[in-house]
Structure 1
C-alpha cells in the first residue's frame, strides 16, 4: 500500500463523515433516507449505462 492510496482512503473517510453529518442535520426518517439513496443509485446507474452505450471510456 503506497502513501497516495492511504491519503485517498483517509480523504474518502473524511468526505463520508462530512456528508453523513450534513445529512443527519436534516433529521429525516429512515424511509426517506432509503428513498433518497435509491434515487441517487438510480441516477448514477443510469449515467453509467448511458456512458457505456455511448462507448465512453476512462482515460488510462
Structure 2
C-alpha cells in the first residue's frame, strides 16, 4: 500500500466499525428519513454558522 501504514489501516477499520455502531444505535430509535434529513441540515447549518463566526473573529 503506497503511503498507508498498518496503523492507519487499523484506524480506518476501527472508525468504520464505530460508524456502523452509531448508525445501528440511531436506527434503533426508528426516526423517519425526513426527520433525519432535517436534523442533518440543521446540524450542518450550526457548524457552518460557527465556522463563519470563527472566520470573522480570526
TM-score (norm 1): 0.72
Runs of 4+ residues over 6 Å off in structure 1: none
Residue 17 of structure 2 is matched in structure 1 by: 14
Unpaired runs of at least 5, structure 2? none
RMSD between aligned alpha carbons?
Answer: 1.5
Instruction: Looking at secondary structure, tell me which structure has more helix per residue.
Output: 2
Aligned residues: 55
Alpha-carbon distance change, 3 to 54 in structure 1, aligned in 2, over 3 angstroms: farther
* CA radius of gyration, larger in: 2
